[in-house]
Amino acid sequence: MPRTAERSLWAWAGLGLAGSVLVALAGPRMAGGPVRWWFHLPLGVAVFYAGIAALIVSWLALGRVGLPPRRLWIVGALWCAPLALTAPLFSQDVYSYLAQGTIVHLGLDPYRDAPTVLAQHGHAHVLGAVSPFWRHTTAPYGPLFLWIVSGLAAVAGPHLILGALLIRALELVGLILLAVFVPRLASSLGADAGRATWWVLTSPLVLLSLVAAAHNDLLMIGLLAAGVTLAVEQRTLPAIVLCALAATIKLPAAAAIPFILVAEGDRRTALRGVVIAVGVVVAVSLISGLGFGWLSPSVFSTPGKVRLAITPATALGWTVAQVVPVGAHGLESALAVAGFAFSVLLGLVLLWRVRRETLVRYLGVVLLVLAVAGPAAWPWYLTWGLVLLATTAEHQTSRWLMLVAAAGALVVKADGILAFALPTAPGFLALYLAAAVVALRRARHPAIARARLRPRALAGS
């Protein structure tokens, strides 16, 4: 690397590290909540958002330098370290995880018993850390995740901070998987491995909405990326095992299984893959002792309890309800069902057309649409598809996806509350309509249409 590029690399890496440190130091006070973190400095909003701005600017600048994966591993680790030690930011879900793990540790059923049951079993301190909004909600997560967290809850005992840090350490396993498999997947697809690594390991959306928030989506997409990589390398059955395990962390990962099997194109392998996927799910459900209660409507209904102005279904339903005399809640629910139906229909169309060379792109699009068209479009859901699209050459330079990754880190406040109230829904609706118009125009552009009809061949195939 030329000396000027080397200096540029470490200058931007240093600025990003400074931003990460500022976010980490100001975070505990900004997040608030009943759990007082092990440090609580009198730093305000300006310091917190200056740190976020430094991270975003540094990330965009590093994208122009062009770095190999190994350099980006170092940068990603530096930026990640302060955020791994601070209080949970942009979401308090980690305390819900801890409560649900404690329920499992007590021998209760987290798919039937809500966190409120903890008050009856001497764990009121854990219940007190859970957001009041979620205290009466049963777990929507897979049995593998809750089984592991139950062990972490047993180790942490009454220490909530230790429990949160242990869960974050578990999620960082997903980040390590991404560091290993994302550049490998990009190379297999003939894309830039360094740019894919930049997209995933140093992205503000990943660092702030997954690492700092300690969301289990990070572990899910780490396993998912590993599985998809093996599928592209024609190691189909191990790929199915990993994707099935990812689904027992969080269910959306299950979408990868039919895409991998259909892309394989061999009926015997597909049949064996189905048997293996079912076997993994059954084994995890039984060995964990949690059974099959996780495969219930709560997986879909729990996200729908939140009304977000940034969710397309909510934005449209709320806006229409201000003009037409209809119930906003009912209309939003109907639109959410319609959005899910559209996602399934799109998934079936792409599943019919998928081949190994289009597997990653089609699956990434489907996961992205599932995240946006669902009942609650939290920004970290976008990482499901963005991680895969970042490994494809046609999406690695997308300015739209860069904007999404940068803006997604800003729409939720440190305490986990959306920064935009429901009355802002019409503005988001207008934004989505404009984006749809641009997307349709691009899809009709002759050069773009021809490029999509000529899928890039896999490296080595």
172-214 residue pLDDT tens: 999 999 999 999 999 999 999 999 999 999 999 999 999 999 9
CA 161 distance to own-chain centroid: 23
Question: Burial, 217: exposed, middle or buried (Cβ in 10 Å; 0-12, 13-18, 19+)?
Answer: buried
Q: What is the predicted pLDDT for the residue at 325?
A: 75
Residue 70 inside a domain? The answer is yes
Task: Let me know the angle formed at the C-alpha of 331 by 328 and 335, rounded to the nearest 5 degrees.
Answer: 135
Q: What is the predicted pLDDT for the residue at 38?
A: 87
Which of 440, 435, 418, 365 lies closest to 395, judged by CA? 365
Taking each helix axis from N to C end, the angle separating 328-353 and 256-264, rounded to the nearest 10 degrees, works out to: 20
What's this model's pTM, rounded to 2 decimal places? Answer: 0.92
DSSP letter, residue 92 = -
368-383 burial: b if 16+ Cβ within 10 Å, else e: bbbbbbbbbbbbbbbb
Q: What is the predicted pLDDT for the residue at 455?
A: 43
Write down the H helix ranges in 236-358: 236-247, 256-264, 267-287, 298-301, 312-321, 328-353
Q: How far apart are CA 52 and CA 410, in angstroms?
A: 8
Give the number of domains in the chain: 1
Q: What is the predicted pLDDT for the residue at 443?
A: 65
Question: Burial, 267: exposed, middle or buried (Cβ in 10 Å; 0-12, 13-18, 19+)?
Answer: exposed
Residue 117 inside a domain? The answer is no
Phi/psi of residue 38, each to 5°? -70, -10
Q: What is the predicted pLDDT for the residue at 33?
A: 83
Residue 111 inside a domain? The answer is no
Q: 1 lies in which domain range?
A: 1-87
Beta bridge partners, 135, equal: none
CA 241 distance to own-chain centroid: 20
Residue 34 inside a domain? The answer is yes
Token digits for 269?
């392998």
Residues of the chain below pLDDT 70:
1-5, 297-304, 443-461
Residue 197 inside a domain? The answer is no
Q: How many CA atoms lie within 13 A of 434 on its CB side?
A: 7
Q: What is the predicted pLDDT for the residue at 2?
A: 62
Token digits for 44?
């305000």
Neighbours of 308 (CB within 10 A): 22
Phi/psi of residue 227, each to 5°? -65, -45
Residue 4 inside a domain? The answer is yes
Report the sign of the C-alpha dihedral through residues 20, 23, 26, 31, in that order.
negative
Phi/psi of residue 180, each to 5°? -80, -45
**Amino acid letter at 240?**
I
